[in-house]
Each structure stands twice: as C-alpha cells, then as structure tokens.
A and B are shown apart, each in its own frame.
Chain A
C-alpha cells in the first residue's frame, strides 16, 4: 500500500533487468529484460519449460535470480524476501489454507501485516463482495467448487492492496465454460480497480483474451512482446506465428526478389511475400487461416482436402501436405459442398502473407 502512492512518475512500473537463472548448471534464463507499465495486464505466454513460471517466481521473490534486478515502482526489490514485496500471487491450484474458513483465508494477509482481528472484518467482507463470495464467508474452503476457490484466492490476493498481482495459470483447473466466464469477470475486476497484473499461461486464447500485451516466451527468452493484434497479424518469429494461432505454414526457398516482394518456391506452388530476401534464403511462408479463401487470389496454392471440420461458427479446411508443412483455411459459418479428398485452390493477398527466415 505504501509503495503504491509514490514513484508514479517512473517510466516503467515494473522493470526486470538482466535476470538470469540456472538450475543445477543448466541455464533456463539468461539476460531476461521485461518491462511493464502501471495498470497494465500482461501475459507471459509460452510452452511448459519456457521459463515463464521461473520469471513469475523471481518477480514474486519465491525464487532468487542468479543475477539481474527487479525494480517495482522505482524500488529495487531484488534482495527483498517475498513477504516484504507487497506482491500477491494467485497460484494454479489456488493454494487456499485448508485449515481456515473462507473469511480467515481472505483475512490472512491482513493478519500477517499485523491488522487486528476486529479491523479485518470490513475489508474482508468488501473483498468477498467483490468476487461475489460474501455468502460463503464462514464455510471451510474444502466445501467450495473450483470456480469459487479461485474467487476466494483472488479476494485473498487483492484484500492486501498489492502493488502487483501475479497469476500462475489461474484458469487451467477450470472447465472451458467456467474458464471463459471467469476470464471476463476477472479482467473487468482488475480493470475497475486499476490493478497491475501478470498472468502466466500456456493458452494463447486466454492470453489474448485477458491481456493488454503478451510476452511470448520460448527457451528462457522473450520472442515478442506486443499487443494481441500485433502478435497475431505480425508475428516476429516462426515460433510466435506457430504458438499464437494455427496458420498455413509452408517451407520454401526464395527464388527471386525485387526489393519489395520475394517469390518463394514451395511444394505447393509459388508464393509471393512482402519484404526483400536474397535468392536462395530458406524461409517459411504462411497466412492466417481466416485470410485465405477457396478460389484463386494474389497467391494461389492447390491442395487436396484432408479434412473438412464443420464447427458451427466456422468451417475449417485442412489440406493434405507433407512433413512440417500445414495448409488450413477457416470459413465463417457452416459451408457445404466441400468434401474430403477433393482438390481445392486456396487464395490470399500478398499483404497478408507472413514470411520468416527458417531457423538454421
């Protein structure tokens, strides 16, 4: 609470600088830099083992970095123990105290800061109201459903007015429908209260749904840190293109370049992509599935349909390809008249074509 009032003029609210971490001699993170502003909702997105949880634990003070600094609100907290950082964590399994009631769980942080029992009642009730759990105050936490436990964990984390809220895969234990409801609810709650929060997740839809910006992590590095639409429409690396939304992806070699566009030869025909690449460069070209359509376009490839998936709100076509290549196309609504095994032409605009140099 004390830290929240000052240092608002700092350029970056949270500044993780040059953080490195090794486990048993294996580098899992080196020279990590990560910055975010006050009031931002940011996701760390990546596959398991990419270092996102390590970064979260280092920020929370639950793990010590081998080197580097963590600065929050202008205060260097690198050497502060977790309990003096005023950073709340919502854990994946919520980590509610099983021996305490809902209200006692929420009051825990206040009691730990020396607030008298009688003075806790007001803030605890307010926090429980915030997550619509006030009717459960006296219940043991074991009597709660997953969604209710998550609400209590959020109330417990917010009641202490943290400078920063960290959420470690907070929705992964919930079923799909509940997960979407809770995402909407939690995002609105954090926005209303102006909370600065970091979500750790491996679910790209979740990351895109809840955050202002997403840091896509891979092998201990941030591959791209951008808002969801940039991340989706202009992925900086093949990894980001692949991790954030599936798309058509073809390996090929640049055959010709005129300084503005490059022609790439692939197994399924020539593809023109924006940008200049020297001829002979091995590249990956792709296009988001909803930007392609049956029929010829500026770029056109021919494939045989391997599958037609009618999903209701959209119909997804998968082309029969070899190896690492992938060809897919999403059409809105239910489409009939397309059948597995039939040849099809897919076309899209040159401007929508994504191109990256292939990883060596």
Chain B
C-alpha cells in the first residue's frame, strides 16, 4: 500500500520541479538581497522599512483593503454558492459561465467599464443627481470603497467556487434532521450548515485574501498612485527608485503575510475537518 502511494506521489514531481525552477529559486535569490549588504547579513532594511510611518500606513491600508475585499466577496459568494448547489441543468451552466467568463475579460477592460459607472459624470452619479439624492457628483472613482468593490468583483469566483464545492456535497438531510429535532432555521444554520461549510469559506478566503493583499493592476487602475499598497511600493522600488534591497524587503514582508494566511487557513481547515 505504502509502496503504491509512494509511486503515485511521483506524479507530483513535474509540478514540484516547475515550482522549484520558476518560482522558489528566483524568489529566494531576490529575497536574499533584502538581508545582503556590503558588510554581509543585516536586517537594517527591515528596521528602516518599519521605522517609516508612510510604509506602516501603506501596510495597514493593504491589509485593510484585503480584509474588506475578502469580507465583501464572502457576503456575496456564500448565498450564491447555495443557489448554485440547488441549480440544475441550464441554470447551473449559466451560473458557472457567469462566474468564469468575466475572468477571461481581464482587469483592464473591467476597470474602464467601472469608470463609466463611477466617474463624476458617470451613470451612477447621473442617477443620484437625477433623483435628488445629491447636489454635486459624489466622488467614487479613486476611493478605497471603489477599490474594494472592484477587487471583490474580480476575485469573486475564487470565493464562490470553493464554497460551492463544499455546499454541493452537503447532505441535505442534515438540516432536515436538525429541523425534526426542534432546531429553528437560525439554529440549523449556525450549528449545522455554517460549521459544515466553513472549510470552503476558509479556502475561498485564503484565495481572495492572498490575491487582494498582493494585487497590483486593480489598485493601479482604480485608485492610482495616490493610495499605494505594498505591491505598488515594491514596483516603485524596483522600477523608479532602482532600490533592489528595499523592493525585496517589501516583497519578503508580503510573502510573510501570504505564508501566514496559507498556514492559518491550513490549520483552520484541518481543525474544522478533523472531527468528521
């Protein structure tokens, strides 16, 4: 049995080799620059990064935007996943196409589409002013809210699909059993449905959080340079400041956040899954 499993394990070799050559090795070489100075190993770059208030603000904004994006995506995705799990035939196809097709459109097209909606003389402001909700156009483009809404839109499939795959396998008799035992709809949801679907939520949140914490194109298009995040800071360090040490330091911090998210979600998933 073990021997068979070992040989099946060999099937992972191409993926591991690819990851090592294309991802791990260059990344390690890059990150090494963050602790390398003329005098040898040093954490000076990290000290300098955290000493700067501006960097702290960018770090905080990055984490806040990622957290709120994840939350918004979750709130929209969770009921959607249930609707999808009940959908049959053509409706399921419609759902899946609606989720997957926009991914092929690319962020740039979407961002320009949003600007039609959100800009000062855009559709949304025209409606608001038309019905007298506001005298002057509300600033929507270039705000953090617009960024969060846009990012949640782009990353939504990565929240819906993991939750959907868990919800689809949920035994519908479990909520029925709970009901026959006297559980109200709210009790059924909080004690049965939600706990059993949490692994999907954890996986989806890990996807969306790690993608929105490191996103570059979406904030560049929606909020621009005025409200930078960590990725934009990294790009600026490499491209404009030509400061490889600073760039790789921030990259290392971003990577640390991503690793923390993966470890945390992995731990949560096994904890939640351990008892079944």
Contact = CB atoms under 8 A, between A and B. Distances in A.
Chain B interface SS verdict (over half): helix
B127 to A, nearest CB: 41
B166 to A, nearest CB: 12
A273 B184 CA distance: 58
Contacts of A97: 174, 177-178, 192, 196
Q: Interface residues of A toward B: which range?
A: 20 to 34
B276 A140 contact: yes
Contact of B173 (A93, A100, A160): A93
Contacts of A95: 171, 173-174, 176-177
Given A112-B182, A112-B187, A82 B276 contact: no
Given A99-B195, A140-B276, A60 B180 contact: yes
Interface in A88-131: 88-89, 91, 93, 95-101, 108-109, 111-113
Nearest to B181: A109
A278 to B, nearest CB: 51
B182 A100 contact: no
Contacts of B176: 62, 82, 89, 91, 95
Interface in A60-107: 60-62, 81-89, 91, 93, 95-101
B47 interface: no
A93 B180 contact: no
Most buried by A among B174, B177, B196: B177
Interface string B53-65: 0000000000000
Given A91-B173, A97-B192, A62 B179 contact: yes
B180 A89 contact: yes
B168 interface: no
Contacts of B272: 99
A156 interface: yes
Contacts of B185: 83
Nearest to A112: B183
Contacts of A93: 171, 173
A86 B181 CA distance: 7
Nearest to A84: B182
Given A95-B171, A97-B174, A97-B192, A156 B179 contact: no
A22 interface: no
A99 B197 CA distance: 11
Given A101-B275, A140-B276, A156 B181 contact: yes
A100 B183 CA distance: 15
Of A95, A100, A142, A156, chain B has the most CB atoms within 10 Å of the CB of A95
Nearest to B172: A95
Nearest to A92: B173
Nearest to B180: A89
A61 B178 CA distance: 12
Contacts of A113: 182
B276 A88 contact: no
A142 B276 contact: yes
B180 A87 contact: yes
B191 interface: yes
A91 B276 contact: no
A108 B191 contact: yes
Contact of A83 (B184, B192, B196): B184
Nearest to B276: A98
B181 A112 contact: yes
24 contacts: A62-B180, A81-B179, A83-B179, A83-B182, A88-B180, A91-B176, A93-B171, A93-B173, A95-B174, A97-B177, A98-B275, A99-B275, A99-B276, A100-B275, A101-B275, A109-B181, A112-B178, A112-B181, A140-B276, A142-B275, A142-B276, A156-B181, A157-B180, A157-B181
A-B complex: 7 closest residue pairs judged by Cβ atoms: A109-B181, A112-B183, A98-B276, A95-B177, A82-B179, A95-B173, A89-B180
Interface of B: 171, 173-174, 176-185, 187-188, 191-192, 195-196, 272, 275-276
